[in-house]
Amino acid sequence: MSFEFQVEATSGPARRGRLITPHGEVETPVFMPVGTLASVKGVSQDVLEQLGVQILLGNTYHLYLRPGVEQVRKLGGLHRFMAWPRAILTDSGGFQVFSLSELRKVTEDGVTFRSHLDGSQHVFTPESAMEAQIGLGADIIMAFDECTEHPADPPRVRQSMELTLRWAERSKKYFEAHKHEVPWNHVGSAEFADKTQALFGIVQGGMDPALRKESAERTVEIGFPGYAIGGLSVGEPRQLTREIVGSTIEHLPADQPRYLMGVGTPEEIVEYSGLGIDMMDCVLPTRAARHGLLFTSEGKISIKQARYAGDQGPLDPNCSCRVCTRYSRAYLRHLYASNEVLAQVLNTVHNLSFYLDTMRAVRHSIALGDSPHSLSEVWSRLKP
């Protein structure tokens, strides 16, 4: 098997499990750090390994523009290119096309867009998005979908959902015909013989539970080894996100992984794990770090504040990461205030460590039969 999902423990709707991919196992529920351009900004791959990262996310749209899919393919795929031997997931490029590019035009065939870098014109279709993701060679790749904007009126949401369903079929068809072209399948190593990527479907349907149900059922009918919930965290209130997640999960198979795209805060990743989500990704820990916003077991800290200039204490007294065990708040504040690059490096390492520790505690809770309800509850177990 190239891909497998094993549920090892459940607690209410929450599950603890394991994804088995061609590039190693991933314990779930998992938070996947975002490595947009084949790099988690500022953090070396050996540090990511030491943090216990088992799977990274890469952005197809960005990698397609720089360094280009063909370049990565010729170099053996993303794993070899970025010297990351563990699992990788790529998104389909759809979300970035919708959020970053200019002059986009959606037709039945696909999306025409202009690069945010140089204005050059490109087209993504379900087929070309699959071709790109096969060339990049992540372990898990995503069907090409349309991320429905919010708010949108009911006919628009249905029309967009129907388009995503037709694109899902085309994505699967292209993938099945070309999946053996993945670059690591060519290296001749017995380890990868006949192993292929896993293509996940994406559920859309806006903020309408009935459409979400229909989208889920019809996506499951097409058949994928895992399902993502897309089109959320697009500006709607959090309570609505929660409701839509809950009502979508009901219609997804219990024995397959569920991936909630683009969330969230530390509180949210605990909460969604409790609802039965297995995989999440978000730029929040890495992006916030670059702005000096640090997550701790005692709440958020804006390290730029003058009150930390003389603070000899660790960033988070309950955190055992390489930043908290070595550096003081005063030093971190100095680095940030002086615009030192090490500020970004250390802040990112801490925030990722906090997210990964949170997920470790969540998995531990589920194994003990305790459904994780809140961040503070989860961290109260980690405190000395």
Q: What are the catalytic residues? A: 91, 281
Q: Which of 97-105, 141-149, 219-227, 304-312 is the region at the interface with a second copy (rule: CB under 8 A)?
A: 304-312
CA distance 247 to 252: 10
Q: Which long-range contacts link 359-364 to residues 24+ away (Cβ below 8 Å)?
A: 359/29, 359/30, 359/31, 359/269, 359/273, 360/52, 362/14, 362/29, 362/269, 362/270, 362/273, 363/16, 363/27, 363/28, 363/29
Does 341 interact with a second copy (rule: CB under 8 A)? yes
300 or 326: CB nearest a second copy: 326
Q: Report if residue 283 touches a second copy, rule: CB under 8 A.
A: no
Regarding 67 and contact with a second copy (CB under 8 A), the answer is: yes
Task: Number of residues interacting with a second copy: please give it, by CB under 8 A.
Answer: 37
Closest approach, Cβ 46 to a second copy, in A, equals 6
Q: What CA–CA distance (Å, rounded) separates 16 from 146?
A: 30
Residues 320-339 that bind a second copy (CB under 8 A): 322, 326-328, 330-331, 334-335, 337-338
Q: Under the criterion CB under 8 A, does residue 346 sit at the interface with a second copy? A: yes
Per CB under 8 A, which of residues 109..168 are in contact with a second copy?
Answer: none
Quick count: other Cβ atoms within 10 Å of Cβ 25? 15
Q: Which stretch binds a second copy (CB under 8 A): 42-50, 136-144, 160-168, 258-266?
A: 42-50
Angle at 381 (CA atoms; ends 328, 298), nearest 5 degrees: 40
Q: Which residues pair with 48 in a beta bridge?
A: none
Choice between 49 and 250, CB closer to a second copy: 49
- Binding to a second copy by CB under 8 A, coded x per residue (else -) over 174-213, reads ----------------------------------------
Q: Does residue number 306 form part of the binding site for a second copy (CB under 8 A)?
A: no
Residue 239 as a binder of a second copy (CB under 8 A): the answer is: no
> Is 28 or 286 the residue whose CB approaches a second copy more closely?
286
- Least Cβ distance, residue 296 to a second copy (angstroms): 18
Query: Using the rule CB under 8 A, which residue among 30, 34, 38, 53 binds a second copy?
Result: 38
Shortest distance (Å) from residue 49 CB to a second copy: 10
DSSP single-letter state for residue 41: T
CB of 191 to a second copy, least distance (A): 19
Output DSSP code: residue 251. T
- What string of DSSP letters covers 270-315? HHHHHHT--EEE-SHHHHHHHTTEEEETTEEEETTSGGGTT--SBS
10 Å CB burial of residue 205 (0-12, 13-18, 19+) is: buried
Sign of CA dihedral 101, 278, 231, 146: positive
Indicate which single residue of 26, 43, 366, 375 sits in contact with a second copy (rule: CB under 8 A). Answer: 43
Question: What DSSP string runs through 57-99?
Answer: EE-HHHHHHTT-HHHHHHTT-HHHHTT--SEEEE--SHHHHHH
217 three-state secondary structure? helix
As measured in angstroms, the least distance from the Cβ of 328 to a second copy is: 7
Interface contacts to a second copy, rule CB under 8 A: 37-39, 41-46, 66-67, 71, 74-76, 81-83, 309-310, 312, 322, 326-328, 330-331, 334-335, 337-338, 340-342, 344-346
